[in-house]
Amino acid sequence: RKEVEQDPGPFNVPEGATVAFNCTYSNSASQSFFWYRQDCRKEPKLLMSVYSSGNEDGRFTAQLNRASQYISLLIRDSKLSDSATYLCVVRPLTGGFKTIFGAGTRLFVKA
Amino acid sequence: NAGVTQTPKFQVLKTGQSMTLQCAQDMNHEYMSWYRQDPGMGLRLIHYSVGAGITDQGEVPNGYNVSRSTTEDFPLRLLSAAPSQTSVYFCASSKGAQNTGELFFGEGSRLTVL
């Protein structure tokens, strides 16, 4: 089993739709969680950190469920510019270099 | 502010050739790392460094060497290229030796080994 698993998609949604991605992780020692965004043939960039209490940044909401070992990303009012691959990233308490990346979920937002 | 700069952006090699991917950052970050990204897989850590003169292996180090003579530079050397090393390579850096914050990536280097 992969340490971090994501549905590869693609998710095809119309503009204005709400879409949610989940990411499951297997290491219960994981302590830090992030969502990165990667545009086609570009480098990953940090979208947002995921806090235990959940957090929101504009149209984006991230949630953490430690009991079930998953994190989620909700995108409201999707824009064409949201089309990208979203990478789930987890980091255990034991070592900062042991950052584990999921393979990503592809999102296409259509007009 | 240049951030993390990688060169070259594209490279084609023949099996057995050697080459060096260059990575430089101008943010005075202590932590630097090299990842490879293959279709259907997450980024995998090749080597990392927590400061000048200190390097260590990541998840997939075989066939690669690194050095860190300065804070700014972290080159990745392919010793004898193999087709299995065809991939996209990303250099990333983070403030602080423990890599607890945001990772900043270079634009990537696309390598094809024939």
Per-residue pLDDT tens digits for A37-58? 999 999 999 999 998 888 999 9
Q: Higher confidence at residue B87 or residue A92?
A: B87
Q: Which tokens go with B81?
A: 């290229």
pLDDT at site B46: 96
Q: Which of residues 46-85 of A touch B (CB under 8 A)?
A: 46
Give A39's contacts (C-beta < 8 A, 6+ positions apart).
A84, A85
In angstroms, what separates the C-alpha of A20 from chain B's closest C-alpha? 20
Q: Which positions ≥6 away from B39 have C-beta within 8 Å?
A: none
Task: Say which of A45, A46, A102 has its CB closest to residue B42.
Answer: A102
| Res B110: pLDDT | 97
* Average predicted confidence (pLDDT) for chain B: 94
Average pLDDT along chain A: 92
| Residues from chain B contacting residue A100 (CB–CB below 8 Å) | 42
Query: pLDDT value at position A28?
Result: 79
Q: Which residue of B has its CA nearest to A91?
A: B100
Q: How far is the alpha carbon of A10 from chain B, nearest alpha carbon, in Å? A: 12
Predicted confidence at residue A18, as pLDDT, reads 98
Q: Supply the pLDDT for residue B105.
A: 97
pLDDT band at A96 (very low <50, low <70, confident <90, very high): low
Which residues share a beta bridge with A19? A75
Q: What is the tens place of the pLDDT at every residue in B53-91?
A: 999 999 999 999 999 999 999 999 999 999 999 999 999
Nearest CA in chain B to A86: B42
Secondary structure (DSSP) of B25-67: ESS--SEEEEEEE-TTS--EEEEEEEETTEEEE-SS-TTEEE-
Tell me, what's the pLDDT at B2? 81
| pLDDT-above-90 percentage for chain B | 85
Mean pLDDT, range B29-44, rounded to an integer: 93
Tell me, what's the pLDDT at B42?
87
User: Minimal Cα distance from B48: which residue of A?
Assistant: A97
Nearest to A97 among B48, B90, B105 (CB): B48
Residue B98 has pLDDT above 70, yes or no: no
pLDDT above 90 for B16: yes
Distance CA B62, CA B87 (A): 14
Rounded Cα gap, residues A94 and B5, in angstroms: 29
Q: Which two tokens stand for residue B3?
A: 């951030």
Q: Residue B94: left (phi > 0), alpha (psi -120 to 50), or beta?
A: beta
Query: Which among B42, B97, B105 is the nearest to A43, CB-wise?
Result: B105
Q: Determine the pLDDT at residue B102.
A: 86
Distance CA A98, CA A91 (A): 6
Say yes or no: A32 contacts chain B, CB-CB below 8 A.
Answer: yes
pLDDT of residue B79: 92
